Amino acid sequence: MAGQLKEVRNRIKSVQSTQQITKAMKMVSAVKLRRAQDAIIQMRPYAQKLQAMLSNIVSNSEGGSGMILATERPVEKVLLIVITSDRGLCGAFNSNLIKLAKATVAEKYAEQHKKGNITVWNIGKKGYAHFTRLNYRADASFKDIFHKLTFENVQKAAQAAMKAFEEKHFDVVEIVYSQFKNAATQRFEVERFLPIPKMPNQPAGKQEKKAMKADFIYDPSKEQLIAEMMPKILNTQLYKAVLDSNASEHGARMTAMDKASENANEMLRSLKISYNRARQAAITTELTEIVSGAAALQG
């Protein structure tokens, strides 16, 4: 009985220690989330407007030398830029991103995958470790971006992708990332990076809006503006995706640690009940032994 009590006490101490860690991690993630959330909230409207503008220009252009990054061609070689985290303990965050990337390959690029024409650029160590284990063509050039998350570091990845697309190493580039909604909600997305997507067709009966979308005055020339704007807007698009995933990671970790702390409380409550029952049983046994001994002496 004494051994059972000691075992329960040790388990209680262990759960209490774990709970202290989860509470500390939740507080740290909450602080990081506030910073990451401020960054993406400030960036998102700017990035979305630039992306819409670029899609609009591409939709109304007749092609030309400045439109290489918007050129559609038969898809033979595919690049996926998968943005995961460097660390775990954030619930199903990384596994959901990896599942989405694999589902995208299975649904859209199964033939290319059979030919070995799928390349994965990983931003974040978790994705790199997973795709390396599965023998994907995984590139580690940009997996450490979260060590120092700056626009300049993300820009290097965007420029490398643009250069590879221009040189026809890849025919399509997709970004797999988590769009931040709030601390408890993330939406996992696959977003076309290259070729630059055109604006979707307007529904019938909205001809006026369709006509308005080409209403631009270019100064300097359209070609010069496109050559300058395209790379900068694409850099911003990838940076937004990275900021989204960064905020999503901290939100997912904060939520996971909060749930872990609640589970620890439930476990502690159950263990304390077990401990009190075992202690009560031990006391009852001792009293029974004492009474029995006293009765034997009297007899």
Among residues 195, 208, 235, 249, the alpha carbon closest in space to that of 83 is found at 249
Domain count across the chain: 1
Q: Which domain holds residue 159?
A: 55-253
pLDDT of residue 104: 95
Q: What percentage of the chain exceeds 70 in pLDDT?
A: 90
Q: Which of 65-79, 121-135, 239-253 has the lowest mean pLDDT?
A: 65-79
Higher pLDDT, 110 or 53: 110
Compute the distance between CA of residue 214 and CA of residue 209 in angstroms, rounded to an integer. Answer: 10
pLDDT of residue 199: 67
Q: What percentage of the chain exceeds 90 in pLDDT?
A: 59
CB atoms < 10 A from the CB of 275, how many?
17
Catalytic residue among 33, 67, 90, 123: 90
CATH number for the domain including 69? 3.40.1380.10
Compute the distance between CA of residue 275 and CA of residue 286 in angstroms, rounded to an integer. Answer: 16
The answer to whether position 208 is within a domain reads yes
pLDDT of residue 127: 93
The answer to whether position 277 is within a domain reads no
The answer to whether position 47 is within a domain reads no
pLDDT digits (tens, 9 = 90+) for 95-142: 999 999 999 999 999 999 999 999 999 999 999 999 999 889 999 899
**Going by DSSP bridges, is the β-strand pair 172-182/185-194 parallel, antiparallel, or unpaired?**
antiparallel
The answer to whether position 34 is within a domain reads no
pLDDT of residue 161: 95
pLDDT digits (tens, 9 = 90+) for 255-286: 999 999 999 999 999 999 988 888 888 788 87
CA distances from 100 to 65, 92, 157, 189 (A): 35, 12, 21, 8
CB atoms < 10 A from the CB of 290, how many?
10
The answer to whether position 23 is within a domain reads no
Among residues 247, 104, 256, the alpha carbon closest in space to that of 178 is found at 247
The answer to whether position 130 is within a domain reads yes
Higher pLDDT, 62 or 38: 38
Tell me, yes or no, if 90 is annotated catalytic: yes
The answer to whether position 295 is within a domain reads no
Q: What are 161's two structure tokens?
A: 């992708």
The answer to whether position 275 is within a domain reads no
Residue-averaged pLDDT of the chain? 87
- List, as one string, the DSSP characters of 172-232: EEEEEEEEEEETTEEEEEEEEEESPPPPPPPPTT-HHHHHHTT----SS-HHHHHHHHHHH
pLDDT digits (tens, 9 = 90+) for 187-227: 999 999 999 887 655 444 444 444 445 566 777 777 777 77
